[in-house]
Structure 1
Amino acid sequence: MEVTLEQLRRNEPIDLGVSEWFTVEQDLINKFSELTTDDQWIHVDIERATAGPFGAPIAHGYLVASLISQFLDELLVIPDRSLTVNYGIDRLRFTGPVRAGDRIRMHMTVDDVREKGDGLITSLGMRLEIEGRDKPAIVGTALFRFS
């Protein structure tokens, strides 16, 4: 959705909709494991993970969270901004496992906007859906600074 900085300044709730589906492949999980040195068997040992509590290898929670910016870029276009900075996370809960091969998509809302210097701190409500399941993978609030 295209939104201007002036529209954000009005501090009215905006439903940004949902992103396209994104498939979390085992290869991505393996690469994240290598980069972070988090090689716990529930992520990378396919045979053991399939017999384990989730029935398949699962993505790292922080791997899934790292996709927030990707989904934001898809859902929110601010044509008059000069800079976007990740300002942090107010709340993040990993509420459901993302299994290798799952398709996920993000539903985002603009919940609150406040002025800070020459920019806007924007609170974005997040619900990361997993195709075919009622329980989301992530719920929370991310903060981004737009100027």
Structure 2
Amino acid sequence: MRRFATVEDLVAAEGEHLGTSDWMVIDAERVREFAHCTGDQHWLHTDPERASQSRFGQLIAHGFLTMSLLADFSTRLFRLDGAELVVNYGLDRVRFPAPVPVGSRVRASAVLQHAEKVTQGARVTIRYVFECDTATRPVCIAEHVSLRLSA
């Protein structure tokens, strides 16, 4: 895990590769739970028989499920000491160039694109590139903006 002692250290690290997460299996249960929570019950994610007849040949994970993993991955890749509150500020460019087949594994690498000092902390933009062990192209590329704030 990359740790930053101060906001100034974080700002000075712009452009730095923060690391790559461990692999995470995207199993059918995770996809079903995501479908249930979001109401996105599209058959590509929930109906194995019908999905087997699709261009993908099997169930695939929701793109938004893949993107949402950045919350977990970010806590494992870096931290700003003293920032006890992380607030999602938004997303800039997001793309899903390839599908994630159910049963495959994904991981993400992160690059610190921008960091600036704000009241009580920092606003941080991280570019995540998700890869899948069964795909030759990235499965998600997302620029995540968060606030890292002291209590």
Structure 1 length-normalised TM: 0.93
Q: Greater CA deviation, 110-119 or 42-51?
A: 110-119
Q: Which residue of 1 aligns with 2:3?
A: 2
* SS in structure 1 of the partner of residue 93 of structure 2: strand
**Residue 125 of structure 2 aligns to which amino acid in structure 1?**
S
Alignment RMSD: 1.3
**Uncovered stretches (5+) of structure 2, i.e. residues with no partner:** none
* SS in structure 2 of the partner of residue 73 of structure 1: helix
Q: Which residue of 1 aligns with 2:69?
A: 67
Which aligned segments of 4 or more residues in structure 1 are displaced greater than 4 angstroms? none
> 1:124 pairs with 108, 126, 130, which one?
126
> 1:30 pairs with 29, 32, 40, which one?
32
> 1:15 pairs with 8, 14, 17, which one?
17
* SS in structure 2 of the partner of residue 77 of structure 1: strand
Once the two structures are TM-superposed, the CA of residue 90 in structure 1 deviates from its matched residue by 0.9
Q: Which residue of 1 aligns with 2:104?
A: 102
**Residue 31 of structure 2 aligns to which amino acid in structure 1?**
I
Structure 2 length-normalised TM: 0.91
**Uncovered stretches (5+) of structure 1, i.e. residues with no partner:** none
CA distance in structure 2 between the aligned counterparts of 1:121 and 1:98, rounded to whole angstroms: 30
TM-superposition CA deviations, 1:42-75 (whole Å, max 9, x none)? 0000011012111110111111111110010111
- Identical pairs, percent: 30
Give yes or no for contact 1:41–1:49 (8 Å, CA) kept in 2: yes
**Residue 95 of structure 1 aligns to which amino acid in structure 2?**
P
Give yes or no for contact 1:11–1:114 (8 Å, CA) kept in 2: no
**Matched residues, number:** 147
